[in-house]
A and B are shown apart, each in its own frame.
Chain A
């Protein structure tokens, strides 16, 4: 059974940093691209970033480029999102989401339960 367990969310002041983690199990982690998708309270889905399974190519939304860094450790079956220079508009539930294939040019097959990030003073 595929499992994605996000952690690392919480309350952070504007300008601060946070690192999210996503522990994966139930599938061959290195074989799949993984995304971060966020959802502000009461709002729709916003794609944030993706990393491919094999060559770790990375992609970012314009709203986070230069501030967020996605990475993965295939030996630990874990995905990360380093978030710097956080803003109030980054407040959202952050979902770790497994793609249907190894390329980032794939639909999203499975989503974790999400971790809430609140940026506020």
Chain B
């Protein structure tokens, strides 16, 4: 099974500052035949279901603000919020859909400093 880890567990960032969340997979999620990383990022606000932000590691979902960006390949990935807004307070999860079981990271909680 592919184990997903995230760092940090939580972070507090000032409004307008950058927030960076890291995700690491225990094996590569890059599928060589199509050169795609099977890695997604989700945002979950309290009392709500998760929401897709990024898929294929760096493709932003329609309607997601461009302050959210994803990068990385193979086993190491990053979600960046370029300028944190109050509405970005949430828990963020990475998710690999490269191989079953399709595992999630433990989550990173983002708060305002």
Listed in ascending order, the chain A residues whose CB lies under 8 Å from chain B are: 35, 37, 44-47, 50, 59-62, 95, 100, 104-114
Residues of the B chain whose Cβ atoms lie less than 8 Å from the Cβ of A62: 1, 101
Question: With A108-B42, A108-B95 as given contacts, are A45 and B50 in contact (CB-CB < 8 Å)?
Answer: yes
Whether the Cβ atoms of B100 and A108 lie closer than 8 Å is: no
Scan residues 22-57 of chain B and give those whose CB is less than 8 A from a CB of chain A: 38, 40, 42, 44, 49-52, 55-56
Closest residue of chain B to A99, judged by CB?
Answer: B97
Residues of the A chain whose Cβ atoms lie less than 8 Å from the Cβ of B74: none
Tell me whether chain B's interface is mostly helix, strand or loop, or mixed: loop
Indicate if B104 sits at the interface (CB-CB under 8 A).
yes
- Apart from the given pairs A37-B104, A59-B100, A108-B95, 19 other A-B contacts in the complex at a CB distance below 8 Å: A44-B106, A45-B93, A45-B107, A47-B95, A47-B102, A59-B101, A61-B101, A95-B49, A95-B50, A100-B52, A100-B55, A104-B102, A105-B98, A107-B97, A108-B52, A109-B52, A109-B61, A110-B52, A113-B49
Tell me whether chain A's interface is mostly helix, strand or loop, or mixed: strand
Closest residue of chain A to B99, judged by CB?
Answer: A105
Listed in ascending order, the chain B residues whose CB lies under 8 Å from chain A are: 1, 38, 40, 42, 44, 49-52, 55-56, 61, 91, 93, 95, 97-98, 100-107
